[in-house]
């Protein structure tokens, strides 16, 4: 009998393959009592060596990240290094060994149980789900204590093209090796829509389903399964009828992808002749190759914080200038929008230290952190100003909440310009500046904000979370994260209408921009610029070239008048009723 499990879909496509169970090594940990002080000292030394070995492995992994791996890997590995350095893991298990005269594995288990309880008790949803990161670091320490391999995929693994990894969870380090290991798909018991595993799954662009609960316990090595990464479904022991149906779906999906690829050089123009700008969200120079391959119009969001996270020290102005210059050169005249560094929450470099705030997502992050660290802020702005003399560049500030913050940013910008004048540096005096609108207070104050900036970009990910008070990475409430919620749509419409009335550029750079089911609604609201993960660009373009903006404006207004979220979803579904891949003759 076939068993169907439902989880969170994070990697598009479908795969039929054989299970490879990723077994973890922390089951049945022995409790040993140490007889004398020499044994205690030896056990402490063994634990310290395991910590050093774990740190060395993570640092080597960060250095060895391949160019084709998702850029977020470096940030996630840095987070694991930060957790490893914390006294709760690096020192407190040693105190347990000393006080209780027990073996290192048992001390680590006791400390892990204690930390797990503390994470579970945290009221803030975002911080509570960081428990998985802590457990991944603990597992690596444990394996080093016992001389076990720390990687899921090793050089000795001989995976076939139909291998599907099944794990409780996968660490950032695990996924570094996926590109070269011929893995067809992966599934995990843990994770939420914006967990590290989910982000990495989307970046790897292979079928993947997470948050399945107890899939690993139900599966056997080499068992045949189906992973539906489009619907978030895992099918165990599929019969011949189900297999035949999924083979048909896989053929259709691949045909769909081939047809979409023919749209690479087709302009994103609606049926009524409206040209839509399709921009890319990028994190590194390596992403520019995909941008050109898919004919994106430019970069709508360059997440500059990744150049900070992947450094052991605060990057210098010259290092930043060299990076931005390289990006501009490779863009070949296309627009580059650089968001100033957006650190905080879990995006903290090793040199920055840990936040002690009870709720970092509502604390010193985004532009607040930049304004609190003016030297860092002005250093980056000087680098951007100098780079802007080499090509079309805009500067954008993250998480703006008020006009007062914009005014402070402009003061620091003027100071940075004056510093460059005094050094006789060449820079762009008239650089365009913009604000990320991702906080409800900014959305409601958009009229005043637009008087001080040249453009705005809507970060829907945070705007939705802050508006609905829902952390979508929390499995318990993620179903409440609704981009189509009437309150969210009304905020979006207010921002777009105000920007249009004031003749200011407005775009969307959150995940809604790359979700094809919202493309027509956004066009109907009046948006003419969308910035997204390059992987989604062709799907959105296909929706655009089959749309008529005049008709969509009327339909969008019907949707915006609705107060019932369920009715909104039905209307959006009806808006997207017709959508086939447009045939392009080469």
Catalytically active residues are 196, 509
Question: Using CA atoms, how far apart are residues 248 and 267, in angstroms rounded to an integer?
Answer: 31
Bridge partners of 421?
none
Q: What is the Cα Rg of the chain in Å?
A: 25
Q: From its phi and psi, is residue 564 left (phi > 0), alpha (psi between -120 and 50) or beta?
A: beta
User: Residue 195 region, left (φ>0) first, then alpha (ψ -120 to 50), else beta?
Assistant: beta
Strand duo 233-236 + 335-339: pairing: unpaired
Q: Tally Cβ neighbours within 10 Å of residue 203.
A: 20
Burial 548-573 (b: 16+ CB within 10 A, else e): ebebbeebbeebbebeeeeebbebbe
- For residues 346 and 130, is the Cβ–Cβ distance under 8 A? yes
Minimal CA–CA distance to 109: which of 25, 46, 37? 25
- DSSP state string for 486-531: HHHHHHHHHHHHHHHHTT-EEEE-SGGGG-GGGHHHHHHHT--EEE
Contacts of 203 (CB under 8 A, 6+ apart): 69, 70, 71, 72
Q: State the sign of the Cα–Cα–Cα–Cα dihedral 475, 477, 480, 481.
A: negative
Nearest to 409 by CA among 433, 384, 439: 433
On the 0-12 / 13-18 / 19+ scale of CB atoms within 10 A, 63 is exposed
Q: Alpha-carbon distance 394 to 398, whole Å?
A: 13
552-561 — which CB contacts under 8 Å span 24+ positions?
A: 552/520, 552/521, 552/523, 552/524, 553/524, 553/526, 554/524, 555/520, 555/524, 556/521, 556/523, 556/524, 556/525, 557/524, 559/489, 559/521, 559/524, 560/486, 560/489, 560/490, 560/493, 560/525
Q: Which of 435, 440, 426, 446 is nearest to 370 (CA)?
A: 435
Nearest partner of 449 among 405, 396, 403, judged by Cα: 403
Query: What order do you get walking across the sheet with 8-11 strand by strand?
Result: 3-6, 233-236, 224-228, 14-21, 163-167, 183-188, 208-210, 8-11
């Amino acid at each position: 009998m076939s068993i169907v499990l439902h989880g969170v879909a994070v990697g598009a496509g479908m795969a039929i393959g054989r299970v490879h169970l990723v077994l973890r090594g922390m089951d049945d940990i022995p409790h040993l009592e140490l007889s004398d002080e020499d044994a205690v000292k030896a056990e402490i030394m063994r634990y310290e060596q395991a910590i050093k070995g774990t740190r060395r492995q993570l640092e080597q992994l960060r250095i060895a990240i391949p160019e084709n791996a998702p850029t977020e890997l470096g940030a996630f590995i840095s987070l694991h290094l930060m957790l490893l350095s914390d006294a709760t893991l690096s020192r407190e298990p040693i105190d347990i060994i000393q006080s209780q005269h027990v073996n290192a594995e048992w001390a680590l288990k006791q400390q892990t149980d204690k930390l797990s309880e503390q994470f579970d008790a945290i009221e803030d949803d975002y911080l509570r789900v960081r428990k998985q990161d802590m457990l991944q670091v603990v597992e690596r320490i444990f394996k080093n204590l016992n001389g076990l391999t720390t990687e899921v995929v090793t050089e000795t693994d001989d995976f076939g093209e139909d291998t599907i990894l099944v794990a409780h969870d996968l660490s950032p380090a695990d996924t570094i090796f996926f590109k070269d290991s011929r893995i067809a798909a992966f599934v995990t018991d843990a994770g939420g829509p914006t967990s590290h595993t989910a982000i990495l799954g989307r970046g790897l662009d292979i079928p993947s389903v997470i948050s399945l609960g107890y899939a690993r316990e139900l599966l056997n090595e080499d068992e045949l399964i189906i992973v539906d990464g489009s619907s978030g479904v895992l099918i165990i022991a599929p019969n011949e009828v189900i297999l035949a149906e999924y083979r048909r779906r896989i053929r259709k999906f691949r045909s769909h992808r081939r047809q979409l690829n023919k749209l690479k050089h087709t302009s994103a123009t609606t049926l009524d002749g409206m040209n839509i700008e399709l921009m890319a969200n990028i994190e590194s120079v390596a992403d520019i190759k995909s941008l050109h391959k898919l004919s994106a119009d430019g970069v709508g969001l360059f997440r500059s914080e990744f150049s900070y996270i992947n450094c052991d020290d605060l990057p210098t102005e010259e290092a930043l200038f060299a990076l931005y210059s390289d990006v501009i050169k490779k863009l070949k005249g296309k627009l580059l929008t650089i968001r100033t560094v957006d650190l905080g929450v879990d995006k903290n470099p090793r040199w920055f230290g840990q936040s002690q705030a009870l709720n970092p997502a509502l604390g010193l992050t985004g532009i607040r952190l930049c304004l609190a660290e003016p030297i860092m802020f002005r250093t980056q702005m000087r680098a951007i100003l100098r780079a802007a003399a080499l090509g079309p560049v805009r500067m954008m500030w993250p998480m703006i909440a008020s006009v007062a913050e914009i005014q402070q940013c402009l003061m620091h910008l003027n100071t940075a310009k004056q510093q460059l004048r005094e050094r006789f540096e060449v820079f762009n005096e008239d650089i365009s500046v913009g604000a990320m609108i991702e906080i409800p207070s900014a959305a409601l104050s958009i009229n005043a904000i637009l008087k001080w900036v040249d453009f705005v970009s809507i970060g829907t990910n945070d705007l939705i979370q802050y508006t609905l008070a829902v952390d979508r990475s929390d499995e318990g409430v993620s179903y409440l994260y609704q981009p189509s919620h009437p309150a969210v749509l009304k905020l979006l419409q207010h921002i777009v209408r105000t920007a249009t009335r004031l003749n200011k550029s407005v775009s969307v750079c959150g995940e809604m921009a790359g979700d094809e089911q919202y493309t027509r609604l956004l066009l109907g609201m009046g948006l003419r610029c969308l910035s997204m993960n390059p992987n989604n660009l062709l799907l959105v373009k296909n929706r655009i070239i089959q749309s008529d903006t005049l008709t969509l404006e009327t339909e969008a207004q019907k949707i915006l008048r609705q107060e019932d979220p369920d009715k909104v979803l039905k209307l959006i579904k009806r808006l997207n009723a017709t959508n086939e891949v447009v045939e392009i003759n080469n």
